[in-house]
Amino acid sequence: EEASDETLHTAKQAGVVVSGNRVGVVGELHPKVLAAFEITETACLFEVSLAQLLPFTVGHRAFQPVARFPVVERDVALVLDDRVSHARVQEIIKGFPLVAQVTIFDAYRGKQVPAGKKSLAYRIVFRSPAHTLTDAEVDEVQQQILDKLSRELGATLRR
């Protein structure tokens, strides 16, 4: 886009535009500016407003340091009523301490599952910020998760 910054050379400048919004300018400094600062070489300027760019960022993520302690992954396949949503199951699982991530990796309806039911399989990632988890700790939380899913949603473990 054509720009009109007085500190830049009139024929050697351009506006920086993102999605139709001007967010900055780039160009060569005007000879008068160079002379005022006793600069004998060509100098360029690039100015961008980060505040104006922020709305255009996609998938912006904050820095997360590498975890100090390893994760434990467990796969769990559940048999549930057809009316139970994946989102509700995930919400319950994520509500437990030590659960860092929940990902569905399989959904099944068919001969091995009773009529009116479905099987949803999840990978649950457990992590403690304070120590390396033992199998016993993970087993205990996993059992609490299964108990709550059974109590609230009628879920059973698929064997």
Structure tokens at 146: 């299964």
State the Cα–Cα distance between residues 17 and 22, nearest whole angstrom.
4
Report the candidate in 62, 26, 69 with the shortest Cα–Cα distance to residue 46: 26
Domains in the chain: boundaries: 8-56, 72-157
Instruction: Over range 108-113, report the average pLDDT.
Output: 91
Q: Range with the lowest mean pLDDT among 50-64, 89-103, 134-148? A: 50-64
Question: Does the pTM exceed 0.75?
Answer: no
If one looks up domain 72-157 in CATH, what number appears?
3.30.70.380
Q: Is the pLDDT of residue 3 over 70?
A: no
What does the pLDDT look like over 128-145, one tens digit per residue? 999 999 999 999 999 999
What does the pLDDT look like over 111-125, one tens digit per residue? 999 999 999 999 999
Radius of gyration of the chain (CA): 29
